Each structure stands twice: as structure tokens, then as C-alpha cells.
Structure 1
Amino acid sequence: MSALLEVSGVSVSFDGFKAINNLSIQVAEPELRAIIGPNGAGKTTFMDIVTGKTKPDEGYVIWGEKSVSLLGMSESQIAQAGIGRKFQKPTVFEAQTVRENITLALKNPRKPLDLLLNRAALDTEERVRAISDEIGLSDALDQTSGALSHGQKQWLEIGMLLAQDPRLLLVDEPAAGMSAVEREKTTDILVHAAKTRAVIVVEHDMDFVRRLNCKVTVLHQGSVLAEGSLDHVTKNKDVVDVYLGR
């Protein structure tokens, strides 16, 4: 597997504080990756850099087979290039139904002939149904999104991102505030999504990370401290000292 995303030698400072310090990470497609680390390790700043919200002081961020630099692109251009981000707090259109939320998010390149033959409407319904099946909300398609549980809103937002057909999905602490059953379902959704794309999950819940059963990158002071399976990194003395031992 070749790298879909390559972050190399990236550093960024805020008011003299080095939030990211010579960070290098490669992510393949498809791949599921968990990023863990103490507060202030640089996890959110890493996602901010990949999505164009923050520009680094040095280093480069390369994307796709054509090795395009993301650093010269705006946030909207990066999103259009195939990078989707889910923040910790779900943001769905609460007055709209689940179906309407997914439909609004769909990436819809409609051809004139499709519109003429009503193919677009049929295709949209099929895609909405497939996504709602994937996120476990098929029975709630006509329910108002504001009436969903916290976990269901998280799943709907993941579904809205999947509707945009991203090649890379960045997910921030999806397990926060969820019940055990909801966390289990969320794991299944992310594992399934990562079969056809790259998915990076930033998380503190070690049980959740263990269920993801994927490669783990540990950040500390803006750099990679350790990388490998969860069992491998949790046996690393430095990881225990700076993160797990707290």
C-alpha cells in the first residue's frame, strides 16, 4: 500500500509554544489508524494542519497519487480533494430528518440525461439507503435528527461525511459521551468504513482503541513517540511514563 497522506517534518508554533515538532506520519489507503496521546500532544493541531485550518511553519503535507501539496490549498479545496473531518460534538441539521441530512450531504455529480430520465432521484434514494444501512439508522430515516440520541447523532454525522465519499476521514473522539452499546456500534461503523478508505481516529478511550484493532500512533509534545499495535505501544516505557501511567 502506498501512502495516501504523507506528513513530513512538520512543525508549528503558537506564541513560542511548539505545538507540532518535526512530525512525520504516513497513512495508506485503505487503512484504519488510531492516534492517542496526552492533552497538548498535538492531536488536534495535526488534524487542523491536514484540513488546512492551520498552516505549519515548516515541513510538507502531500496528498494522493499525484503527490499534491495540501499546504497551498484552502479548507474547502482540501475537503473537495477528498478529506472529511468529524469534530467531537456532532453537528447535524436537527430540524431535518435523517434522510434529509444524508441527502443534503451527498456528493451529487448529476448529468443532464440522468435528470431527464429521473435516474438521479433513484440513485439518490439508493445511496441514502446504503449509507443509512452502514450507520445503522435505516429505521430512523424519517425521524427528525434532533430527536436522535447522542450516539445516533454521531453516527448520522459520520454518515453525512461518508455521503461526500471522502478518501480520508478524520474522526475526533467518537466514543465520548456514548454508552457501551453505542461505542461498540461506532467501532463497527469505523472498521467497515476503513475497508474502502483511510480513517484516522483520535481517541482517549483505550478500550475503544483496542476494539478498533489497528495501528496506533502515540503523539507527545508534537512528535511521534511510538507506533505499532496497541499492545506494542502500551509496553513502551516512554508511553507508560508520559501517558498511560498518569
Structure 2
Amino acid sequence: MSALLEVSGVSVSFDGFKALNNLSFSIDRAELRAVIGPNGAGKTTFMDVVTGKTRPDEGHVLWGEPPVSLLGKSESKIAMEGVGRKFQRPTVFEDQTVQDNLMMALKKSRSPLAVLLFKPETPDFARVEELADVIGLDAVLSRKSGELSHGQKQWLEIGMLLAQEPKLLLVDEPAAGMTTAERQKTTQILRDAAKTRAVVVVEHDMDFVRRLDCKVTVLHEGSVLAEGSIDHVTKNQQVIEVYLGR
């Protein structure tokens, strides 16, 4: 079976600085992967390339089966292809309830008329309740999102992405600013999500990465420096020198 996402020989330069330098790696269909590395290693640029925000100078980004190129596609087209991205800071509709946020995110036609005429039906309410249960917010469906804790807002945003049924979920530093209990719940949400889709977590927190218990890709200066289990990469001398020793 071919990979869901294959990044091959991708390079990106900004004013002479190589943000990505011949980056190559692949993600399987139902896989949890952590991407780590020092600041400037290329983690955000990698996500920008995959989601269509940044066009690389060279290389290929292949997606799906049969593989198609994501390069040249718009951000919205790539999202419709099944690539979901969660940024570091949660962006939810704070004046709307948890239920409304999830309902708005359900995978539906996005034409202006369809959005205008959308009336939730029984299956829609059932799907929202199912999502709320997955992200641990079933008890607060009627609460305004602005009243949620930081961790709960992060879960709601993950739920909103899951509502769109992505094949790949890119998640940026989900554990930042969370309590210990929230971090444990976040680990479970991401591990469960990766049973049916690819989930890539970009993270600095090594304790959180260890909790995820998945394959780790270490980036340095825009390339893959090491790859393997958390124990494997943390014993790598180069990884210790450029990242863990700091």
C-alpha cells in the first residue's frame, strides 16, 4: 500500500534562507507521527507546503491513491481533498455554543445557497453528539465556547476538524499551555483519531511526544536528521547536539 502523503526533495528558500532543504519523508494512512526539531528546523514551513500556503522552489508533494500532486492547488482545494490543519492558537466561534461550532464544521456543501439554507437534521445532531463525546465536551454542548478553558477550546477545534472528516490532520503544538489532566486527554484524542486517519503532531514538548508513543521525525535545517521511536531518536548523537542538548 502506498503512503497517504509523500514529500519528496522539497526545498523552500526565503530571501536566501533555506527553510526546507531537500526534505523527503512519507506518512501512512492510519498513522500517528510526531515532528520535532529546534526553532527554524522547517516544521511550520513543511505544514505550509502541504496545505498550499507556501509553494516550494523544487520537489514533489504527492497525495492519496492513485497519487496526485498537491502543488499548485489552492488552500481550500487541499482542505477539500482531506487535509485538515490546527494552528497553535485555538480559533473557535466564542459567542456560539460548543454544539453550534461543531454543527457549522460538519462536512457539507459549502456553496453560499447550501450554507444559507442549511437546517440541521437528526443525523447531524447525532454526529455532533458523537464528536463531542470523542473530544470530551459532551457535558458542555450548550455552553458558549468563549467560556471554555484553554484546553477545552483546543479539543473543540480538533473536534471541528474531525467533523470535516479529514484523511490527514496536521496539529501544531496541541499541548502548549495545558494542565497535566488536559494533556493526558489530548494524548488520547490524538491517538484515537490516528486509528482511522493520519495525524501529524508538531511539538516541542518531549514529555508529550513520549506520551504519544509513535514514530518521530526530527527536522534540522530543513531536512530529516533522524527518524524512529522516541527512544531511538533521543539516543542519536546528532539529535542530542542540535536539539536535546539545548
Same fold (TM over 0.5): yes
Tell me what 1:164 maps to: 164
Deviation (angstroms), 1:121: 0.6
Q: The residue matched to 1:40 in structure 2 has which SS?
A: coil
Q: Is structure 2 residue 45 aligned with structure 1 residue 39?
A: no
Distance 2:2 2:89 in 1: 32
After TM superposition, the score normalised by the length of structure 2 is: 0.95
Tell me what 2:226 maps to: 226
Tell me what 2:115 maps to: none
Q: Is structure 2 residue 189 aligned with structure 1 residue 202?
A: no
Report if aligned partners of 2:55, 2:72 keep a CA contact under 8 Å in 1. Answer: no
- Residues 113-156 of structure 1 show CA distances to partners (whole Å, capped at 9, x for unaligned) of xxxxxx96111011001100000000000000000000000000
Q: Is structure 2 residue 160 aligned with structure 1 residue 146?
A: no
Tell me what 2:21 maps to: 21
- The number of equivalent residue pairs is 238
Q: The residue matched to 1:25 in structure 2 has which SS?
A: strand
Tell me what 1:92 maps to: 92
Unaligned runs of at least 5 residues, structure 1 = 111-118
Distance 2:15 2:84 in 1: 29
Distance 2:108 2:141 in 1: 19
Report if aligned partners of 2:51, 2:75 keep a CA contact under 8 Å in 1. Answer: yes
Deviation (angstroms), 1:2: 2.6
Trace 1:79-158 onto structure 2 (pairs within 5 A). 79-108=79-108, 121-158=121-158
CA RMSD of aligned residues (A): 1.2
Q: The residue matched to 2:127 in structure 1 has which SS?
A: helix
Distance 1:73 1:182 in 2: 36
Q: The residue matched to 1:139 in structure 2 has which SS?
A: helix
Q: The residue matched to 2:121 in structure 1 has which SS?
A: helix
Tell me what 1:9 maps to: 9
- Residues 42-101 of structure 1 show CA distances to partners (whole Å, capped at 9, x for unaligned) of 000000000000000000000000211000200000000000000000000000000000
Q: The residue matched to 2:52 in structure 1 has which SS?
A: coil
Q: The residue matched to 2:146 in structure 1 has which SS?
A: helix
- Residues 160-199 of structure 1 show CA distances to partners (whole Å, capped at 9, x for unaligned) of 0000000000000000000111011000000000000000
Q: The residue matched to 2:128 in structure 1 has which SS?
A: helix
Q: The residue matched to 1:3 in structure 2 has which SS?
A: coil
Distance 1:91 1:108 in 2: 20
After TM superposition, the score normalised by the length of structure 1 is: 0.95
Distance 2:26 2:153 in 1: 30
- Identical amino acids, percent of aligned pairs: 73
Q: Is structure 2 residue 63 aligned with structure 1 residue 66?
A: no
Distance 1:126 1:195 in 2: 21
Distance 1:25 1:86 in 2: 21
Distance 2:72 2:87 in 1: 23
Q: The residue matched to 1:85 in structure 2 has which SS?
A: strand
Q: The residue matched to 2:155 in structure 1 has which SS?
A: helix
Tell me what 2:178 maps to: 178
Deviating beyond 3 angstroms after TM superposition, the runs of 4 or more aligned structure 1 residues are none
Unaligned runs of at least 5 residues, structure 2 = 111-118
Report if aligned partners of 2:36, 2:219 keep a CA contact under 8 Å in 1. Answer: yes
